Each structure stands twice: as structure tokens, then as C-alpha cells.
Amino acid sequence: MSAEPVVVLDEVTFRRAGRDILNRVSLRINPGEHWVLIGPNGAGKSTVLGLCGARTFPTSGTVDLLGHRVGRIELLALRRRIGHVDPRHPLESPLTITDVVLTGVTGTTELMMRWQPTTADRRRAAELIDLLGLDGKAEERWPTLSQGERGRALIARALMSDPSLLLLDEPSTGLDVAAREQLLETIDRLAASHPDLASVLVTHHLEEIPEAATHALLLAHGSVVGAGPVYDTLTTHLVSQAFEHPIVVDHSEGRWRARSLRSVRSA
């Protein structure tokens, strides 16, 4: 595994309309690490994810991605090495799962006119569809897919470019409990099959953290409350501080849970 970090944010501040969205945030992500970004609404999680994906640029501080300083490298080439999974994927055509996954080669939402995937592209798409638990569904079309199936198809799409970094923006949005559990199992399986791949997952809920998570970044009001190994960061004290509410955090059988201190006392 390479020792070179995948992401380095150094004292990053981001302002919009005269307001600090992020305030001197620092973060270092190494290959094979799986980070979760947690915090209340408006904490700055999406902005951090945008910085990690070379889609947002700092007001001050520096951002280094895959060994390159943002602002000194051609962005499209950099973004091709970063897989981005957004459950609000704006696809309008009734593409098959195979076609959706193949758009990961071109980095487009729709299939490009006159573009033809190679035999190797189709082979890789089929392998990823199988890996993501969608075997037997490759020819099913986007409008007929469940939200969970769409999420797994989008992860397969993001992996088509063989990225070094995978960004997951609230991937459990809109999922029922069963679909959420299937998605989390998929993410855990992916961590085992791609040991050098680094990932960043944004969520509001500790229950949506996969077992494969190795590190956590807690944000509140655009500032870092805690960052580091997941067991050292997702503590009752730090989570309560981030959400400004007394919350009891526990971890059992690989999964996290958060409960209000008041509900624990009344139990």
C-alpha cells in the first residue's frame, strides 16, 4: 500500500456570501482508510465532500488530492480518479443497469452518442454488477429499480474508472431498513475486495455506518469536533458535543447506535 495520502486538507476555510461554512478544517486520508463524516445539518459535511472530490475550492488553506495540489492540475483528469456516488443521480433515460455502470467510463450521466464500450469495459461492468449483488438484474431498467438497487448500481458505476478514492454522499437516503442493510453489506464487501481503495461516507446517523469504517470526522458549525480512528472519535462526549444534545453512543457486533441520554435514563 502506498504511503502517499489520498486526501490532505490543511487549515481549509470556505466562505460563501461572507459566511464561514468551514473554519480551518484539516484532514488526512490514507489509502485503504474508510472515513465517515458525521454532524448535524449545516455542519459542513457536503462542503468537505466537495473538497475531496475537487468540486469545491477553498477560500484559504490548501487541498491535495492523490498527490496533486488542487489549482495546479487539470481537474477533469483528477476527477476521473475519484468515484462519486450521489443517490440524487439525475438520470432521465430508461438505461439498463449495464448501461448505467458503463457511463462510469465516460463520466457522463447519459450514454455518449457514437461511443462504444470495449469488450474489456463490458467485462469489467459485468464483474462489478456481480460484486455489488446485482447479478441477474443487469438488463433491468433504471425506472423499475428500487432505491437500493439504484444505489448499488451507482457504486458499480463509480468503480468503473478504478478510482483511488470513493465518495458516498448519504448513500442510505430513501432506503428502508432492509435496503439499507444490503447497501452497508455491499460497502463492507467492497472494502475487502479493494484493499487500497480509500472512501469517505457522509451520514447524519450512526446506525448507517458500515462495519468497514476505520476513521471518523465529526463536524459542527463548520469546525472539527473530533477526527481520527473511529473508536476514538465516535464517543458519547464528542458526539454529544457535535450535536449539542446529550447522546449515548454504543457499539456492538460491528454496528453503532446513538440514543438520547434522557431515553436511556427512563428505560
User: For 124-146, how does the pLDDT look when each residue is reduced to its tens digit (9 = 90+)?
Assistant: 999 999 999 898 999 999 999 99
User: pLDDT over 90 for what percent of the chain?
Assistant: 71
- Amino acid identity of residue 117, one-letter, is P
- pLDDT (average), residues 76-83: 86
- Does 46 have pLDDT greater than 70? yes
pLDDT of 262: 66
CA distance 95 to 82: 23
- pLDDT (average), residues 11-21: 94
pLDDT of 58: 95
- Does 231 have pLDDT greater than 90? yes
Verdict on whether the full-model pTM lies above 0.75? yes
CA distance 124 to 120: 6
C-alpha cell at 221: 458549525
- Does 30 have pLDDT greater than 70? yes
C-alpha cell at 190: 467492497
Least confident window among 58-72, 160-174, 230-244, 249-263: 249-263
Domain-by-domain residue ranges, the chain?
A: 1-81+164-179+193-235, 91-162
Count the neighbouring beta carbons within 10 Å of the beta carbon of residue 135: 11
Taking only the tens place, the pLDDT of each residue in 156-211 is: 999 998 999 999 999 888 888 998 998 899 899 888 999 999 999 999 899 999 99
**Residue 73's pLDDT band (boundaries 50, 70, 90)?**
confident
pLDDT of 1: 43
To 10 degrees, what angle do helices 177-193 and 147-159 make? 20
pLDDT of 265: 56
pLDDT of 127: 94
Using CA atoms of 167, 169, 172, 173 in order, give the dihedral in degrees to the nearest 10.
-160
If one compares 173 and 11, the residue with the highest pLDDT of the two is 11
Return the HEC string of the chain.
CCCCCCEEEEEEEEEECCEEEEEEEEEEECCCCEEEEECCCCCCHHHHHHHHCCCCCCCEEEEEECCEECCCCCHHHHHCCEEEECCCCCCCCCCEHHHHHHHHHHCCCCCCCCCCCCHHHHHHHHHHHHHCCCCCCCCCEHHHCCHHHHHHHHHHHHHCCCCCEEEEECCCCCCCHHHHHHHHHHHHHHHHHCCCCEEEEEECCHHHCCCCCCEEEEEECCEEEEEEEHHHHCCHHHHHHHHCCCEEEEEECCEEEEEEHHHHHHC
CA distance 35 to 227: 10
Q: What class has domain 1-81+164-179+193-235?
A: alpha beta
Q: Average pLDDT, whole number, for the chain?
A: 91
